[in-house]
Structure 1
Amino acid sequence: MIKYTLITFIFLFGISCADKTKKSSKDTATPQTVENSISDVDQNSTEVQEKILLGVQSREALEEAPYKEWFDENYNDYKVDKETLEAIKPLLEGVNIKIFMGTWCSDSQHQVPVFFNIMDKAGYSYDDFTLITMSRDKTTPANLEKGLNIINVPTIIFYKDGKEMNRIVEYPIHTLEEDMLQILQGKDYKNPYAE
């Protein structure tokens, strides 16, 4: 039994948040949540229920069970670089931010709470912010990802004057606040998947 539990644990947490499969042409999930059954290796074992948020969400949705545990832990454990934060603050004026994430994705579970920690300390108002949660195949019921080339999550997109400045994809090159600063300063930033 321990062997099967360990295999299931490795399977669930070892899945990358990269797009390794083709997007399905039909999204059968509801706009808010979907429960996925992931069968254990043993056919006689019980199934693990996973509740996945889908569509536009509020931050508060991530601060509720079952997401609260990883949100609070990663938010509270991250120590923001205060010097970089001070450089970010004045550059946030007029910047719209859109995050695509998966509540099932370990990179999203880490980076999104860290993002909120940084932005809270920067005094960001969230008036121009959108949080979008996706299925495992990087889709949403309302096709909010259409035309945005979302291949990995989390994807944090920065906009100014209606145009994309740049994006952080899956994980930062340096730290989240250092990468944000490069983007907000208009420097030549390339995420790990940029060509």
Structure 2
Amino acid sequence: MKKILFLFLVTILAACNSAKKVTETNTIETERIEVQKVAPKSVNKIAREITAKKDANGYLIGIANKESFQDEAFKGWFDNSYEEYTTDKKTMDKLKTAIEGYTIKGFMGSWCGDSKRETPRFYKLLDETSFNQNDFELITVDRSKKTPDNLQEGLNIIRVPTFIFYKDGEEVGRYVEYPRETLEKDILKIVMGQPYKHSYDRSQ
């Protein structure tokens, strides 16, 4: 009788330990699932609908992106300027991390020689730094530096191209028309918070 009672107790204890292991395993799996649920998600900060179209003069007007310049009217100068520009690799290595966390708003004119030169180069810089282009908004303007819906209003756009850099919603600097040194060196100064004046800044 004692042997039977002993075997019964051993069986119950073994079953409890097995159930405990199953419970622990389920708890671990639940915790793993919870961690996956709270993984961070990317946020598009200023991405907007692409609206750029050619006006009566053949100028591109509105919100554009890189693909907007594959129209036959713009493709020749855009692709040539993009391919011909060689970036400074040493500066670009620094820029890859320094430019993270910024948003950029650009203004250019498809009629403007400086815009035709600098805008493709700017896109090449963004491509080579793997910048999230959802955080870059490019606005193409007419010869009066305006769009029909006044996207330039309040931003003091006097010359194009102008690329404005924002951190946490605040403007930290802008690149205007042509570089003081090179495109990538000028932009590195802006995003590193170093002293920088664009080519038309006459402030003391």
TM-score interval, normalised by the smaller of the two chains: 0.7 to 0.9
Does residue 68 (structure 1) correspond to residue 75 (structure 2)? The answer is: yes
Distance 1:84 1:164 in 2: 22
Residue of structure 1 equivalent to 2:39: none
Matches within 5 A, 1:36-47: 36=57
**Counterpart of 1:93?**
100
Matched, 1:34 2:55: yes
CA distance in 2, matches of 1:89, 1:75: 19
Following superposition, the deviation at residue 33 of structure 1 comes to 2.2
> How far 1:141 sits from its partner (Å)?
0.8
SS at match of 1:127: helix
Q: What is the TM-score of this pair, normalised by structure 1?
A: 0.75
Match of 2:182 in 1: 175
Q: Does 1:53 pair with 2:74?
A: no
| Residue 110 (str. 1) matches residue 117 (str. 2) | yes
Task: Kindly provide the CA deviation profile for residues 141-163 of structure 1, in whole angstroms up to 9, marking residues without a partner as x.
Answer: 11011110000000011100000
- Partners in 2 of 1:31 and 1:79 — Cα distance? 28
- Segments of 5+ residues of structure 2 without an aligned counterpart are 1-50
Determine if contact 1:59/1:131 at 8 Å carries over to the other structure. no
Determine the structure 2 residue equivalent to 1:147.
154
Answer yes or no: is the 8 Å Cα contact 1:31–1:142 preserved in 2: no
Distance 2:112 2:82 in 1: 16
Task: Give the one of 52, 74, 84 matched to 2:91.
Answer: 84
Partner of 1:165: 172
User: How many percent identity over aligned positions?
Assistant: 46
Number of paired residues?
152
Q: Which runs of 4+ in 1 moved over 3 A?
A: none
Bigger relative contact order, structure 1 or 2, given CA contacts below 8 A and separation 6+? 1
Encode CA deviations 1:60-90: one digit per residue, 9 max, x unaligned: 0112211000000000000110000000011
- How many angstroms apart in 2 are the aligned matches of 1:55 and 1:127? 16
Corresponding residue to 1:187 among 162, 173, 194: 194
Residues in 2 aligned to 1:33 and 1:65: alpha-carbon distance in whole angstroms: 12
- Where is the strand percentage greater, Structure 1 or Structure 2? 1
The structure that has the greater radius of gyration is: 2
Structure with the larger helix share: 2
Q: What letter corresponds to residue 152 of structure 1 in structure 2?
A: R
Q: How far is the alpha carbon of 1:58 from its aligned partner?
A: 1.9
